[in-house]
Amino acid sequence: MTATVEPTSPAPATPSVLSTRGLTKSFGGVHAVRDVSVGFLEGKVNGLIGPNGSGKTTFFNMVTGMIKPDSGEVMQGERSITRWAPHRIARLGIGRSFQLCRVFPRLTVLENLLVAVRPTSLASALLGAHHAPTVARAREILARVGIEHLEHAEARDISYGQQKLLELGGVLMADPRIIMLDEPAGGVNPALIERIATLIRELNAEGRTFIVVEHNMDLVMNLCDHIVVFDRGRPIAAGVPAEIQSDPAVLEAYLGV
Ligand SMILES: Nc1ncnc2c1ncn2[C@@H]1O[C@H](COP(=O)(O)OP(=O)(O)OP(=O)(O)O)[C@@H](O)[C@H]1O
Ligand SMILES: [Mg+2]
């Protein structure tokens, strides 16, 4: 792959589960995302990388309906989901985490998972907290992400890495088929990064598709099947990790060489 190669759509044999066409967003004079047409592969761990400010989070926010694009389309398979409300997109089985971890600090770890299933109403979620099957499922997920021993702790009292695991647990409560993670390893200690990586691999082996934004290159290169690289709001490369690592345009974007 060379610097001039446009990021390609995936080969026809591997359909895009989620894709964009000409997606664009400016904030005042800042062109955060510019005419982005990319596809993410079903059943794979897709990476989305790029220097700070290259538009990754803005792109995630548009795909998940949290901000409206100026122009362009978001497609799930053949269906346009452009400008759909976030809860409607979530109901399609698309879950996400946030770059700055979002948990309710004064709720317990278990309560955080119980409210995750009813994001429209905190009060009704807590009223329904004793719904036995939901509690059982929440406990199962806490065990899955490895923080079941913290069930009764308030979220503000657990480590940042544990909060990231808790947030991932909240995403899993909705049983999404596509999981978008914005910097899952950011600010997390190495032992927990390994646990997060293992979890992503296991969940992917169950057939869940991942789209992962991440700055930790070791993690990205080990974890991802396919990577798209953004620079200044535009995709500049796409390919398997080995291609990305040796791509002159990528080196230039990161190192300015
Ligand atoms: N709400 C906003 N208002 C104004 N400018 C914004 C807003 N959100 C993002 N931007 C700008 O858009 C550009 C892209 O930002 P974005 O957060 O999408 O980048 P990123 O690739 O996620 O960066 P990082 O790796 O640091 O998280 C940046 O120049 C940023 O300052
Ligand atoms: Mg970001």
- The CATH number covering residue 25 comes to 3.40.50.300
The pLDDT of residue 122? 63
Cα separation, 225 vs 223, whole angstroms: 7
* CB distance 41 to 52 below 8 Å: no
Q: Residues near 188 by Cβ (< 8 Å), separated by ≥ 6?
A: 160, 161, 164, 196
Structural domains in the chain (count) = 2
CA 232 vs CA 30, 70, 229, 254: distances in Å: 10, 17, 10, 11
- Mean per-residue pLDDT pooled into runs of 10, the chain (257 residues): 42 73 96 97 97 97 97 95 95 91 92 77 61 88 96 96 94 95 93 93 97 95 97 96 93 79
Question: CA quadruple 177, 81, 168, 221: dihedral positive or negative?
Answer: positive
- Please report whether residue 200 resides in a domain: no
Cα separation, 22 vs 38, whole angstroms: 9
Answer yes or no: do 150 and 237 share one domain: no
Which domain covers residue 159, as residue numbers? 99-175
CA–centroid distance, 133 to ligand 1, in Å, is: 40
Answer yes or no: do 80 and 184 share one domain: yes
CA–centroid distance, 253 to ligand 1, in Å, is: 16
* CB distance 208 to 17 below 8 Å: no
Ligand 1 atom nearest to CA at 28: 4
- Please report whether residue 199 resides in a domain: no
Answer yes or no: do 71 and 148 share one domain: no
- Please report whether residue 29 resides in a domain: yes
Answer yes or no: do 48 and 121 share one domain: no
Answer yes or no: do 110 and 171 share one domain: yes
- Please report whether residue 194 resides in a domain: no
Ligand 1 first shell, C-beta below 6 A = 27, 30, 32, 50, 52-58, 99
- Please report whether residue 203 resides in a domain: no
Answer yes or no: do 184 and 88 share one domain: yes
The pLDDT of residue 12? 43
Cα separation, 70 vs 232, whole angstroms: 17
